[in-house]
Amino acid sequence: MSRNLSKPAPDLNAGGIEPGTCFHCAEPLIGDRMLWAQLQGREVPVCCAGCRAAAQLIAQLGLEEFYRFRTASSRTPAPSTTEWQHFDEPRLIQALTRAEGDDRSVMLLIDGLTCAACSWLIGRSLERIDGVSRASVNSATGRASIVWDEGKVALSRLLQVIADLGYRPHVVTPDAVDTQAREEQRAILRRLAVAGLGMMQVMMFAVALYAGDLQGMDANIRTYLRLASMLVATPVMLYGGWPFFVGACKALRMRSITMDVPVSLGLMLAYGASLLNTWRHAGDVYFDSVTMFIFFLTVARHVEIVARHRSNSVTDSLGRTMPQTAHRFDSASPEARLADVMVAELRSDDQLLVRGGEITPADGAILRGITHVDESMLTGEPLPVARGPGDSVAAGTLNLGAPVRLRVTAAGSATVLAHIVALLRRGQAERPRITRAADAMSSRFLGRVLLGALIVCAFWLIVDPSRAFAATLAVLVVACPCAFSLATLVAVASANATLARRGILVTHQDAIEGLAKVTRVVFDKTGTLTLGRVSVTGCETLGAPNEQECRRIAAALEAASEHPIGRAFSADVGTSVPADDVQVCAGAGIEGNVGDRRYRIGTPAFVLGGPAEDRGAIVLGCEQKALASFTVGDTIRPESAEIVGALRARGLGVEILSGDAEGPVRRLARQCGIDEYAARQSPAAKLLRVKGLTGRGEFVAMVGDGINDAPVLGEAGVSIAMSRGSALALASADLILVGDSLRSLPMAMDVAHRAKAIMRQNLLWAAGYNLTAMPLAALGWVPPWLAAIGMSLSSILVVLNSLRLMRGERSRSSVKFPLDIAPVSAVALSGELRS
């Protein structure tokens, strides 16, 4: 052992793992636990074989520190039956990877990253493989880039390692969007640095100049300092302010006025006047105000861009749900050979083979085969549905059972999924409700200011031409809408940052404003108030053997199944007794020997070997006699009742809209203490209900997770999605609960209310300041330098007031959010580190 024994053993119990939960994924351990994983000579409990395999692999690689440093528990590894071998076909390698010297490079999207430690783990694991020269994983975007030697190790091996660690890799072709996002982020960082450093310099000169104004200063030094200020302010203005000028030009060309227009105008006037005054050695300069204004606006824009990229990376997971390749029957050859083709090559009427565990690559109708399909990606419903010949299956759904032969009815952009995505994208583009209102207000305001400035100028030209310029400039500077534009911007930005730190991603700028107006919270049932995971909820034995024994037998049989119901059984007791000679009858059940007897589990008809009443229960039987009947269902989230109580205590109405049957919904409503609920609601009915509520003057917050919730999420005043929800729900949500817990919801409401209050204070202050200072400036009583100080001070006051939102309660965060917004020092996990 080369390990230093004096070093304390790492505390493996980090990452928020509570007793009684799986060490790897923190799922609760149910029943008498039998599964253990070996970690640094210790045995730790795990919930399933997948978690054990992942934990053991991590231990074998000597990367146990992953558990010490991760800030969020890992996801439960999905049982993967995917065959990676077909990625080794030369044609696919050609299409999906790029040559990089003697090596090849590939871009992967990795599903299941929960924190930065995951990136580290994957990067290290891959780099230990002989033949991999570089592997870097970006935890924010989930993208991994790997450079490896094709001759030494196959791509399928790399993918297999990632899958074994408990993540899901998807090979993607590197697209332009990625580089564009990276460039945008880099550009804003550079502008931020220029504006920030420039502002500091100009401020130093400005302090000297103000002191000189009070105490008297040598004219030479004065001119010199002004020239220096101009020298520094010019790049800040041209480089840092460039995006605002571009934005303003764009807006004017489209004949609309955005916030960029008044901002640009204010900047140009102040900068222009300062240039003029520097040149004629008289009057005042406002370089300090100009640079400070640009810096604050750039900070706000930076926060916005970082938040947007984060949420994009969460929502673009849609790309990962679609497979890259499909098995197509070659129609040219008579014996119908199978060939792997790119999904993009699929056409209507192609015939495909979709194996168990694979994702359907296109919309189609089943020609041959009976199977179960997991449509949770589309509907959010965890229970799989049976599909047989003639039934249609949608692209993106997961085949859980036997292989089926499929005739393609729609492929690519013609699929149902692609249509929904397109609809949502359009909906998102048409949403700038509150922003537009604010812009309209400020453009009206600015119009009046310009008019006022003109009147003042004309007045002074008649009365006393020598004071005309100073007075006009004072009016313009005083009225510069800095404080106005910062009033809501900084408050929203700091509210976003506060929420992000506590596990809530804000993906739409108007979400905070909306959240503060909410009067009613509407919950979806599955996956929102419940965990959206199948588990055994009831067991009824019919004589000997006893319940525990029945559960054991059931688990032993179901261990052979990849079906979610099967996993529910093994999660129920864990594997204890082995079953042999197991046969899986797709769509019916499982048969096998446990001990010395032959058992069957599945539908009553299958188990009893004849027609039987089917009430949805799963029956365990032996020799055509029923022994026990199980009910499976969804379990309620542990925090649901508490959260509903907290929301009601805030005076909000709470109700459930579910597509489920009456019974389960009523039961759940009772458990959570909700009086109003509606069962059997189609997406259209949900939409109607939410519209009705809105019509009654309610402001609705919709919490959901499935694709069937997506239209409703779009209609609600504020939409909130669970981070493990379907990609489409995430795409249409204003807020995303990252920790996959409802706990942060009431806190988010509080933050929104505080943000709203602060916004109101800021606007009041800015308006009050402008209304009092403007008449004084118009009368010529305010010299421009005082106007500039006043403007800066009012902006600073607004910013400081907004930052109050981020103060306090930091240590109390219940969900530790791994992706902090603040740009701290950074070293990418890249090849340089290794050498």
- Which of 194, 568, 730, 733 contacts another protein by CB under 8 A? 194
- Which of 231, 305, 560, 776 contacts another protein by CB under 8 A? 231
Given CA atoms 466, 467, 472, 473 in this order, what sign does their dihedral have?
Answer: positive
- Which of 34, 177, 193, 454 contacts another protein by CB under 8 A? 193
Interface of this chain with another protein, residues 780 to 819, rule: CB under 8 A: 818-819
**Measured from the CB atom, is 155 or 420 closer to another protein?**
155
**Measured from the CB atom, is 221 or 771 closer to another protein?**
221
Residue 823 touches another protein, criterion: CB under 8 A: yes
Distance of CA 365 to the CA centre of its chain: 33
**Measured from the CB atom, is 59 or 556 closer to another protein?**
59
Minimum distance of another protein from residue 585's CB (angstroms): 35
Residue 62 touches another protein, criterion: CB under 8 A: yes
Residue 650 touches another protein, criterion: CB under 8 A: no
Residue 2 touches another protein, criterion: CB under 8 A: yes
434 backbone φψ class: left, alpha, beta (φ>0; ψ -120 to 50): alpha
Residue 219 touches another protein, criterion: CB under 8 A: no
Among 103, 288, 316, 524, the active-site one is 524
Alpha-carbon gap, residue 121 to 144, rounded angstroms:
12
Sheet holding 676-678, edge to edge: 504-506, 735-737, 718-722, 700-704, 520-523, 653-657, 676-678
- Which of 9, 177, 207, 221 contacts another protein by CB under 8 A? 221
Residue 201 touches another protein, criterion: CB under 8 A: yes
Residue 47 touches another protein, criterion: CB under 8 A: no
**Measured from the CB atom, is 183 or 330 closer to another protein?**
183
Minimum distance of another protein from residue 827's CB (angstroms): 4
Given CA atoms 507, 511, 515, 516 in this order, what sign does their dihedral have?
Answer: positive
**Measured from the CB atom, is 215 or 333 closer to another protein?**
215
The radius of gyration of the chain from alpha carbons, rounded to an integer in Å, stands at: 32
Residue 12 touches another protein, criterion: CB under 8 A: no
Alpha-carbon gap, residue 270 to 292, rounded angstroms:
12
| Helix (H) / strand (E) containing 634 | strand 625-636
Alpha-carbon gap, residue 582 to 707, rounded angstroms:
36
- Interface stretch with another protein, choices 169-177, 290-298, 782-790, 825-833 (CB under 8 A): 825-833
Rounded to a whole number, what is the distance in angstroms from the first to the last CA of the chain? 25
Strand partners, 521: 654, 701
3-state secondary structure of 200: helix
**Measured from the CB atom, is 307 or 787 closer to another protein?**
307
- Interface stretch with another protein, choices 188-196, 294-302, 410-418, 616-624 (CB under 8 A): 188-196
Q: What are phi and psi of 757, to 5 degrees?
A: -60, -45
Place of tokens 């729609």: 410
* Number of residues in contact with another protein under rule CB under 8 A: 53
- Which of 91, 186, 667, 696 contacts another protein by CB under 8 A? 186
Minimum distance of another protein from residue 197's CB (angstroms): 5
User: Is residue 133 a contact partner of residue 148, using CB atoms and an 8 Å limit?
Assistant: yes
Interface of this chain with another protein, residues 572 to 601, rule: CB under 8 A: none
Q: What are the tokens at 742?
A: 């409802």
List the one residue out of 390, 386, 416, 417 whose CA is nearest residue 405: 390
Q: What are the tokens at 699?
A: 């402001």
User: 436-444 contacts: CB < 8 A, separation 24 or more?
Assistant: 438/259, 438/488, 439/256, 439/257, 439/258, 439/259, 440/257, 442/257, 442/259, 442/262, 442/481, 442/484, 442/485, 443/257, 443/261, 443/262
CB atoms within 10 A of CB 811: 5
Minimum distance of another protein from residue 221's CB (angstroms): 6
Minimum distance of another protein from residue 198's CB (angstroms): 8
Interface of this chain with another protein, residues 111 to 140, rule: CB under 8 A: 115-117, 119-120, 123, 125, 128-130, 136, 138-140
- Which of 43, 578, 828, 831 contacts another protein by CB under 8 A? 828
Minimum distance of another protein from residue 110's CB (angstroms): 14
Residue 232 touches another protein, criterion: CB under 8 A: yes
Minimum distance of another protein from residue 490's CB (angstroms): 22
CB atoms within 10 A of CB 757: 13
Distance of CA 626 to the CA centre of its chain: 47
Minimum distance of another protein from residue 712's CB (angstroms): 33
Distance of CA 628 to the CA centre of its chain: 43
Interacting residues of 562 by C-beta distance below 8 A, sequence separation 6+: 79, 81, 356, 357, 400
Residue 830 touches another protein, criterion: CB under 8 A: yes
**Measured from the CB atom, is 136 or 629 closer to another protein?**
136
**Measured from the CB atom, is 138 or 399 closer to another protein?**
138
**Measured from the CB atom, is 232 or 438 closer to another protein?**
232
Q: What are the tokens at 337?
A: 């050979």
| Helix (H) / strand (E) containing 192 | helix 176-215
- Which of 185, 312, 392, 575 contacts another protein by CB under 8 A? 185
Residue 161 touches another protein, criterion: CB under 8 A: yes
**Measured from the CB atom, is 208 or 370 closer to another protein?**
208
Residue 829 touches another protein, criterion: CB under 8 A: yes
Give alpha helix (H) positions in 636-682.
Answer: 640-649, 662-672
- Interface stretch with another protein, choices 178-186, 526-534, 714-722, 788-796 (CB under 8 A): 178-186
**Measured from the CB atom, is 130 or 581 closer to another protein?**
130
Which segments within 398-515 are labelled E, that is strand? 398-399, 404-410, 504-506
User: Is-catalytic flag, 288?
Assistant: no
Minimum distance of another protein from residue 81's CB (angstroms): 20
Active-site residue list? 524
Site residues (vs another protein, CB under 8 A): 1-3, 59-62, 65, 69, 115-117, 119-120, 123, 125, 128-130, 136, 138-140, 161, 182, 185-186, 189-190, 193-194, 197, 201, 204-205, 218, 221, 224-225, 228, 231-232, 818-820, 823-830
